[in-house]
Each structure stands twice: as structure tokens, then as C-alpha cells.
Amino acid sequence: MSSALLTDMYELTMLRAALAGGTAHRRAVFEVFARRLPAGRRYGVVAGTDRVLSAIETFRFGEPELEFLERVVDPPTLSFLADFRFSGDVYGYREGETYYPGSPIMVVEGTFAEAVVLETVVLSILNHDCAIASAASRMTQAAQGRPLIEMGSRRTHERAAVAAARAAYLCGFATTSNLQAGLEYGIPTAGTSAHAFTLLHDSEEAAFRAQIDALGASTTLLIDTYSVEEAVRTAVKLAGGDLGAVRIDSGDLGVVAIEVRRQLDSLGADRTRIVVTGDLDEHAIAALAAAPVDGYGVGTKLVTGSGAPTANLVYKLVDREDSTGTMKPVAKTSVGKPSKGGRKWAYRSLSDGIAAEEIVSTRPDDSLGRPLLAPLVRGGEIVGREPLDAARARHQESMRELPQIAHSLSPGDPAVPSIFS
């Protein structure tokens, strides 16, 4: 499937004018960054890079795209697009890394023509995936090692759901309920039953029996369709101490979990786990830290970025050739939209292994700290792919590198200050 029309029309209009005016082939550098983090967030998490590489690979204008574009651009532009193949370089933060205001999380170098047309698809992917990853990371930190199940597919666009499952897994979620994410990304999937299954049967007992017969006693029974207390009694009667888990989806989860734990223990089901679900976010998860909960299912708040559904990343021209062939840093001076011209390099300085500064420099200098930009595309060839599990491991490492304040859920400043040098 072509990604070429996941594009704002103005990119092609600019391309057309630049081709006509002779500036289209000037060398140019675009940078992806966030002017600020969502209100009160301490850090952002990079995700989507690998999906961007796929989109660059499929950014080709075929028959249906070109036929449609006959109405949008002129013949010279159309013929440029027919042969389009990105031939430039891309550098970027690796997935799972944290980022801060001004971090150049992706740098696209090429001709103006080939770099400008990638703006929308690059931003769409990164804005979505970084927003979800940033929320997911706070949730896994709040869960303090208890497993999280991603189950938000129904509350977001059907394809965004697949990308959300990927971003959540990258940031430490244990499993997803989304089967397409299992197929596409190899993410472990989980899911047992909904209220509909209980309601389908003439009694809750009949429903539980059917589920246990089919899936074994280690299954997870949903216990809040009618009376929670009766459901627990029925569940243990049928499955005994081997019952895998029960799921609570309503009520005051902390209070209900304590009651259910007590009842399970008193019935001899002390190994049966308790999973809670129902509009959980990082704050609700943190509030349940002392409750007898063995796992969380998170839906709506994850896939909507827990209050920040987009990362608000922008794609800005920062450097380009002038009419004499010399590269010149550029930046607009629009009110309230600070931009800094020039191609950037980024480093994280550490003190005793803890991140101290995010250094954004207009010159490469590895002595400034751990380099953050890795080559992703070289001369049009994708060179930066990596397995999702590598990104997941990196995110874990990158959490260990953060100062303690980064894990505070209360609103505050970015945990690592951005220094421009």
C-alpha cells in the first residue's frame, strides 16, 4: 500500500512552485522536534521510527495516485512524482529513548523537493506513536512491575489501535488484546471474555462452566456482571484453587479488590490472581499500588495518550542551500513559535549514570555526552531497522538513566533540561 498520498496538498503545491522556480533541488535539512512537552509531563518517549522507515519505503506514486494528482499539480510536477524515490539521509533518536523540548528526534536531509514531501507522513506517525508511548511509559512506571494489558483498540481508529499496541509494548506493556498487532509485530496477545459471554448464558454459572471447560481452570473469569461476591463463590466452586484469575471491571476497584482477595483466600483460592480494568490511567494505577491487584488492563486512556493525544511535533526547515550553493541556517520568527536554525546534533550528558542535560548542538562533538542521533536512511537506503524487542529493552534502560523526579506523576518541568550550544 502506497503511503504517498498520506500527504498535505501544500507539500505538492510547494514542490510545484519550487520546481518551476528552480529551487526544488537545493540541499535542505528538516528537523522533527517538540517545542514543549504536553502540560506537566516530565519526559517524552520516541516511538514510531521504524514505522516511518516503512512509510519512506512505500512512498511511491503509482497509477491511482498519479491519476488523482492530475487535478492537483502540473505535468512537470507529476513527472517528478512518477519517478519519486527518496534518495537522502535520515538520522533519528532510537525508539524507546526519552526526549525533551527541542530534541531533534528526527533529521531529514536531501533536496528540498524530496524532503518536503515527507513532512505529513513522518509527523503523523511520530505524533501518534510518541503520544501513546509517552503515556504508556508513565503507566508502566506507575504499575511498578505489575503486568499491564493493552486493551484500548475499540476506543481509537482501527489502524491507530495497531500502532498504539506497538507503542505500549515498546514501553513495557506485557501484552495487547489487538490481534492484528500480534500478527504484524509479534506482540504477545491476551484476552478471555466480556460481559456478553456471561449474559449469553442462562446463568453465570453456566457461562463460567463453559469458559472453564473450553479454556481450562487457568482462565480469567469476569466477575462483575451481577453480584461480585456470588461470582467469586461460583468461580471457586467450579475451578477450585486452580482458577487462574478474576477480572473486576467496575466499582471502586481498590475496595472491591480487597474484598475479592479476602474472599478468594478464604475459599482456598489464594493463588488466583486479580486483574482490574475500567478507565485506568497512570494516576489510577498508582493509587492502586497498595491494593491486592496482580495486573491492570488499560484501554481508553492509553490509546488517547492520557490527556495528550498528540505529541505536537513539528517538521521544520532548519538549513538549506542558497543561490550561491552555500548551506545557510534558517528559522522563522513567528510570534510564540520559537525555532532554532541550523542542522543539529544531540547528546545526553550523564552524571553518575543519571541524565543531566539534553545537549542540542549545531556541531557534532561526541565529547558532549552519549550521542542520540543514529543513521536510519543513507542515500535512500534504509539502514536503521531494528527488532521491536531491542527498542523495548532500550526503553527500560532509558528509564534507569532518568533522574528520580522524572517518575513523579504530578505536573512539573521536563526532568532533563535542554541546553542549546
Binding residues among 255-284 for its own copies as defined by CB under 8 A: none
Shortest approach of its own copies to residue 156 CB, angstroms? Answer: 6
Q: Which of 75, 325, 334, 404 binds its own copies (CB under 8 A)?
A: 334
For 97, the 3-state DSSP assignment is: coil
Cβ contact 1:114 at 8 Å: no
CA distances from 71 to 9, 19, 75 (A): 11, 17, 10
Under the criterion CB under 8 A, does residue 211 sit at the interface with its own copies? yes
Q: Which of 60, 78, 82, 225 binds its own copies (CB under 8 A)?
A: 225
Q: Which of 78, 210, 217, 327 binds its own copies (CB under 8 A)?
A: 210
Under the criterion CB under 8 A, does residue 95 sit at the interface with its own copies? no
Element (H, E) at 222: strand 220-222
Q: Show the CA angle centred on residue 219, arms to residues 216 and 224, nearest 5°.
A: 130
Angstrom distance (rounded) from CA 340 to CA 69: 34
Under the criterion CB under 8 A, does residue 194 sit at the interface with its own copies? yes
Under the criterion CB under 8 A, does residue 161 sit at the interface with its own copies? yes
Q: Of the two residues 161 and 269, which places its CB atom closer to its own copies in the complex? A: 161
Angstrom distance (rounded) from CA 362 to CA 72: 38
Sequence-separated (6 or more) residues with CB below 8 Å from residue 137: 43, 45, 171, 172, 395, 399
Sequence-separated (6 or more) residues with CB below 8 Å from residue 389: none
Shortest approach of its own copies to residue 286 CB, angstroms? Answer: 21
Angstrom distance (rounded) from CA 10 to CA 16: 10
Under the criterion CB under 8 A, does residue 237 sit at the interface with its own copies? no
Sequence-separated (6 or more) residues with CB below 8 Å from residue 335: none
Shortest approach of its own copies to residue 204 CB, angstroms? Answer: 10
* Owner of C-alpha cell 466480556: 194
Shortest approach of its own copies to residue 92 CB, angstroms? Answer: 17
DSSP-assigned states of every residue in 311-364:
--EEEEEEEEE-TTS-EEE-----TT-----S--EEEEEEETTEEEEEEEESS-
Q: Show the CA angle centred on residue 300, arms to residues 299 and 303, nearest 5°.
A: 85
Shortest approach of its own copies to residue 53 CB, angstroms? Answer: 14
Under the criterion CB under 8 A, does residue 418 sit at the interface with its own copies? no
Residue span binding its own copies (CB under 8 A) among the ranges 34-42, 63-71, 389-397, 403-411: 63-71
Shortest approach of its own copies to residue 356 CB, angstroms? Answer: 32
Angstrom distance (rounded) from CA 222 to CA 208: 9
How large is the angle between the packed helices 388-400 and 160-170, nearest 10 degrees? 50
Beta strand pairing status for 354-361 and 345-351?
A: antiparallel
Under the criterion CB under 8 A, does residue 179 sit at the interface with its own copies? yes
Q: Of the two residues 94 and 316, which places its CB atom closer to its own copies in the complex? A: 316
Under the criterion CB under 8 A, does residue 65 sit at the interface with its own copies? yes
Q: Which of 9, 350, 383, 393 binds its own copies (CB under 8 A)?
A: 9
Residue span binding its own copies (CB under 8 A) among the ranges 35-43, 189-197, 236-244, 405-413: 189-197
User: Rule CB under 8 A: which of 19-58 touch its own copies?
Assistant: 19-21, 23, 26, 28, 30, 55
For 384, the 3-state DSSP assignment is: coil
Under the criterion CB under 8 A, does residue 101 sit at the interface with its own copies? no
Cell of 413: 518541568
Under the criterion CB under 8 A, does residue 183 sit at the interface with its own copies? yes
Under the criterion CB under 8 A, does residue 163 sit at the interface with its own copies? yes
Q: Which of 35, 147, 250, 408 binds its own copies (CB under 8 A)?
A: 250
Under the criterion CB under 8 A, does residue 347 sit at the interface with its own copies? no
User: Rule CB under 8 A: which of 301-330 touch its own copies?
Assistant: 303-305, 309-310, 312, 315-317, 320, 322-323, 330
Angstrom distance (rounded) from CA 172 to CA 321: 43
Q: Which of 31, 89, 95, 249 binds its own copies (CB under 8 A)?
A: 249
Q: Which of 49, 98, 103, 127 binds its own copies (CB under 8 A)?
A: 127
